[in-house]
Amino acid sequence: MSDKTENAPYHVAIIMDGNGRWAKQRGLPRVAGHRAGTDNLRRVLESCGELGIKMLTIYAFSTENWRRPEEEVKGLMGIFEDVIDRELPEFHEKGVRLRHIGRLDGLKPVFADKVRKAIELTKNNDKLILNIAFNYGGRAEIVEAVKTLIAKGVKADDITEEMISAHLYTADVPDPDLIIRTSGEMRVSNFLIWQGAYSEYYLAPVYWPDFDKEQMRLALEEYAKRHRRFGGL
């Protein structure tokens, strides 16, 4: 029997939340939760192929996450850099195309460079498109788009929704069909606020390190039952 569900979403986005609480529950430091979360990402990526998901966007670090204690931010940056160093060859081999949404400036130049190289290396892959939202903020993204349009000399009356979409980090990425947030928290936390205007939302009742293939399957099952109306009937 195939694992693919009827009416599978093309683009799934995930707010990977709850690493800290997962660690706390076990008496571990928060950074151990982030490590467990990263290990889980590998498993979730494998399940995407089996479940028929072609595009996955993950929220890894927000523009607001810089407000966390320096030690945690450092730990997170270290983990992300490790992931690129360690996992990139396997991602590439498995046909994963990596993309980044967010700002690369503001990151350590060596790290930003690794991200650019990973994007370049995998640009022709098409098994799974993985958009990593890193140093990403939805409001900052819209502000940047508007600034670019003004700098191009576009007149106020000529601005359209399509133009704004075309100047976001996600310029050629279709809007997410389904946005999942783990950990039960009910907010968007500045994630894809423009692109998610008509996305279906799903809250998974587990912390991110525990979000497994079965949890993903439940989310897709729920999505398949939804009736998307986009304002129509």
Contact residues for ligand IPE, defined by CB under 6 A: 15-21, 59-62, 65, 76, 183, 185, 187, 189
Amino acid symbol at 142: I
Cβ 93 to ligand IPE shortest distance, Å: 27
Catalytic residue, from 3, 7, 17, 19: name it: 17
Q: Among Mg ion, ligand IPE, none, what does residue 75 contact (CB within 5–8 Å per kind)?
A: none
Active site residue 39: no
Cβ 150 to ligand IPE shortest distance, Å: 29
Q: Are strands 96-101 and 11-15 parallel, antiparallel or unpaired?
A: unpaired
* Residue of 75, 143, 61, 77 whose CA lies nearest to 109: 77
Q: What's phi and psi for 107, nearest 5 deg?
A: -95, 160
Nearer to Mg ion, 17 or 87 (CB): 17
Active site residue 65: yes
Residue 46 contacts residue 90 (beta carbons within 8 Å):
no
Tell the burial category of 118 from Cβ atoms under 10 Å away from its Cβ (0-12, 13-18, 19+): buried
Cβ 22 to ligand IPE shortest distance, Å: 7
Q: Among Mg ion, ligand IPE, none, what does residue 55 contact (CB within 5–8 Å per kind)?
A: none
**Site for Mg ion contains 191 (CB under 5 A):** no
Please give the residue whose beta carbon sits closest to ligand IPE in the complex.
20
- Please identify which residue in the block is written with the tokens 């900052």: 140
* Residue 101: strand pairing partners: 133
**Site for Mg ion contains 17 (CB under 5 A):** yes
Q: Among ligand IPE, Mg ion, none, what does residue 16 contact (CB within 5–8 Å per kind)?
A: ligand IPE
DSSP alpha helices (H): ranges in the chain?
19-25, 30-51, 70-93, 109-121, 138-151, 161-166, 213-225
